[in-house]
Homo-oligomer: A and B are copies of this chain.
Amino acid sequence: MNLIQELYTRIEDANLWEKNLVLKRNEYLKVAGTTDTHVYFIVSGSIKISIVHEYEDHIIRFGYQNNFITALDSFITERPSDLFMQAIKKCELKVLSKSTFVNFLHSRIENKELWDRVTESLILQQLEREKDILISSPKERFDRVLKRSPQLFQEIPHKYIASYLRMTPETLSRLQKS
């Protein structure tokens, strides 16, 4: 069982989910300027996280089916952040408040240890993402991400992958055919 499955199972076993949420395609879960400290588990569907700068949507993360997603900056600081979270397709989510989640972490040392490993993995992912952005060759960015996140190419429409990879949809199509 991987870290994410393990975390999900423990929350499920403790019966902690506070509500279910259904998002229509393109519906926003969070917009810039708001505070959202919830932890979401994506039962089905997928979500994109982006910042908007000069009218352009820069996608920085995706949330996949059977994965957790949160507005990490708001979750940590409990303050408004400039992140948008939007459903790419119809989504079913399970929702947990930060306070319930924090209580869960502190209820058993094993939960906190598991979360520490998730946090380490997050830090490593952020470093890989930073390297991706710094690499100027579209081909190399594509290859790195294909190797790291095959799920991306199965679940996410191409126009969003192109935004995430900082290339035009045409360049992405060309790389996928090559």
Contacts and interface: CB of A to CB of B under 8 A. Distances in A.
A124 B73 CA distance: 6
Copies in the complex: 2
Contacts of A60: 130-131, 134
A126 interface: yes
A126 B124 contact: no
Contacts of A130: 60, 126, 129-130, 133
**Top 4 A-B residue pairs of the complex, sorted by shortest distance between their CB atoms:** A126-B126, A58-B134, A76-B120, A133-B133
A122 interface: yes
Interface in A42-83: 51, 53-54, 58, 60, 72-73, 76-77, 82
10 contacts: A51-B131, A51-B134, A58-B134, A72-B127, A73-B124, A73-B127, A76-B123, A77-B124, A133-B134, A134-B166
A144 to B, nearest CB: 11
